[in-house]
Amino acid sequence: MLGLIGVFVVIQLFRIEKVEYKEPTSSGILSYEKPSIEVTKLLEETCLNCHSNQIDYPWYSEVAPISWWIADHIEEGREHLNLSEWAQYSNAKKEHKAEESWEEIEEKEMPLESYTYMHSEADLTAEQREILIEYFKNLQAKYKTSS
């Protein structure tokens, strides 16, 4: 038991590197695409906490080994899609990312299930899922015609 506690204490020394918080800019999907209030709220509550420059770290992100796991999700998530840099993506990339987004939501891959355990507001109802799928499908169509 003491050994376990010792390990737990020692791993706390390995801190995660947090993503630097940057104020939202005009490049972010919310300013650039101006989705409805409803969609804005859904994106904020279910996607932006991993796919943006505005990460709100929960208290348990201070506690190893959970912290490592959370840091991994955020790093990987932002590599695939950073909605704060939406305007900088080419039209072709916007189309592709919009398509991936609705597919991920439809397949219930996104938001990550582990995220919804602790963030019940991100546990989408069927209706909310439909709203986001519809939104990303329209976004995909928008960039299909203009690319």
The whole-angstrom separation of Cα 69 and Cα 65 is 7
Residue 101 interacts with ligand HEC (CB under 6 A)? yes
Cβ atoms of 40 and 135 within 8 Å: the answer is no
- Options 28, 29, 33, 77; binder of ligand HEC; rule CB under 6 A: 77
Start-to-end CA span in the chain (Å)? 61
CB of 6 to ligand HEC, least distance (A): 30
Return left, alpha or beta for 105; rule: phi > 0 is left, psi -120 to 50 is alpha, else beta. alpha
Instruction: Report whether 111 contacts 47 (CB < 8 A).
Output: yes
Could you say which residues in the range 107-136 bind ligand HEC, by CB under 6 A?
110-112, 115, 132
Would you give the binding string for ligand HEC spanning residues 40-69, x where CB under 6 A is met?
------xx-xxx------------------
Task: Establish if 73 lies at the interface with ligand HEC (CB under 6 A).
Answer: yes
User: Amino acid identity, residue 47?
Assistant: C
The site for ligand HEC (CB under 6 A) is made up of 46-47, 49-51, 73, 76-77, 80-81, 97, 100-101, 104-105, 110-112, 115, 132
